Amino acid sequence: MKKAVFIDRDGTITHDIGYVHKIEDFRLLPNAVEALRLLKDFKIFIVTNQSGIGKGFFKLKYFFEYNKKVLTELKKHKIKIQKTYYCPHKPEDNCECRKPKTKFLKDAEKEYGIDLKKSYVIGDKKADVELGRNASCKSILVLTGNGKKTRKEIKPDFIAKGLLEAAKWIVKNDKTQ
């Protein structure tokens, strides 16, 4: 069984200006590349809620274009994202794929042979931390994006200033190396 890191995209890897979907708005957060490189011994997945699609703020094709830009930029730095899981639904749709529900992590568990108990979830929202807890992963809240607002709402396994500090904590505390 393999270990993985499931990472929220907007506000954790990239800047989040709200319903991000335009390529011209793409910007990696500082140290994102360095952080992802540190996680080389893990399968890395992006797990993102994209309710802007369901709310009609932007079309699915714009999500794919923007996400392709993210993946292409990371690939230039020799960072491989195994897969991007995305939920296009509104919160009120009560779908099975919206974080903090565990559908995507269970899918990765089956498809990639992931051991969720040896895996981590990193994000800037309460739903990210709850996703980790719900899937028996360790959860890390980053204080980028919405993290500072979220800090008082939830108790993750670790609170990091950003993705780099989160990655360093994982490497230091990972017992399966």
Residue numbers annotated as active site: 8, 10
Q: Which of 26, 21, 23, 28 is nearest to 52 (CA)?
A: 21
DSSP for 72-93, written as a single string:
HHHHHTT----EEEEE-S-GGG
**Tokens coding 113:** 């042979």
The Cα–Cα gap between 49 and 99 comes to 7
| Residue 151 Cα to chain centre, angstroms | 17
Which residue from 52, 169, 68, 88 is spatially nearest to 121, judged by alpha carbons?
A: 169
* Contact predicate 154/148, CB 8 Å: no
Strand segments (E) across 54-172: 83-87, 120-123, 138-142, 158-160
List beta partners, residue 48. 86
